[in-house]
Amino acid sequence: MISSIELDCILENPEFSWDYNKLSKNPYISIEYIKNNINKDWSWWEISKRITYNEFISNIDLPWDYKALSKNPNIPINYIKNNMCSYWDWNEISLRVTYDEFIENQDLPWDYFYISSNTNIPIDYIKNNQNKPWGWCSISQRITFIEFINNQESPWDYFYLSSNNNIPVDFIKNNLDKNWSWWEISERVSYKEYINNPCLPWDYDAIKLNKNIVSF
């Protein structure tokens, strides 16, 4: 992050060839400064990702990037649903919506593949709403071990569970009949788990890529 002294230097000398893409990421660069230097090569993607709601509402005519705004948790669902004609990205909104916002707005065009990746959506809700088009590959990638153990009857995707760091090797070796991906397990296994389990069917091409092991 740029220091306050460096930032003052930049703001006082706009005639120099500053990197405006990087400056766009800096929350200390105010929207007023950007507006007063609108001809600079700003990244509206970066500004839109970090703008506050009040700054956005007060400057609605600026060239906002609506995909980036969709990622921005400062932009509330109530504003989005009252402005459905804008170019929102429902993949991004689905990834970051809170549980309460989701529950209170069931009629919005959620993308359930991305909702499934959203850690705000609890497994109990998913389990009690099996009629929804859930992405079990996404749920399997982000589920906690306790949630997994307590819901063994759910339609888990074992390929994606294999890449989930929450699933310990001890559980995997006691359930070798499951359709695990040894490439995925080998690529993320800890050094200790690997050393303590020499007889497991490791994928050694993946082991070579595992930062937990090659660093030793």
pLDDT score of 28: 86
Whether 49 maps to a domain, the answer reads no
pLDDT score of 214: 80
Total number of domains constituting the chain: 1
Helix (H) or strand (E) holding 127: helix 123-127
Q: Are 154 and 138 contacting, i.e. CB atoms less than 8 angstroms apart?
A: no
pLDDT score of 145: 98
Whether 93 maps to a domain, the answer reads no
Q: Are 99 and 126 contacting, i.e. CB atoms less than 8 angstroms apart?
A: no
pLDDT score of 35: 94
pLDDT score of 176: 97
pTM above 0.75, yes or no: yes
Whether 175 maps to a domain, the answer reads yes
Query: What phi and psi, each to the nearest 5 degrees, are found at residue 56?
Result: -65, -50
**Mean pLDDT of successive 10-residue stretches along the chain, which has 216 residues:** 62 78 90 92 97 97 97 97 96 97 96 97 96 96 97 96 97 97 98 96 96 82
Residue 188 domain boundaries: 168-216
Q: Are 189 and 212 contacting, i.e. CB atoms less than 8 angstroms apart?
A: yes
Residue of 15, 14, 53, 61 whose CA lies nearest to 33: 14
Whether 62 maps to a domain, the answer reads no
Residues 6+ apart with CB under 8 A from 177: none
CA angle 162, 165, 168 (to 5 degrees): 75
Whether 203 maps to a domain, the answer reads yes
CA angle 22, 27, 31 (to 5 degrees): 95
pLDDT score of 192: 95
Whether 213 maps to a domain, the answer reads yes
Whether 204 maps to a domain, the answer reads yes
Distance in angstroms (rounded) separating the CA atoms of residues 144 and 134: 17
Whether 57 maps to a domain, the answer reads no
Distance in angstroms (rounded) separating the CA atoms of residues 53 and 17: 30
Distance in angstroms (rounded) separating the CA atoms of residues 193 and 179: 20
* Three-state secondary structure call for residue 115: helix
pLDDT score of 6: 65
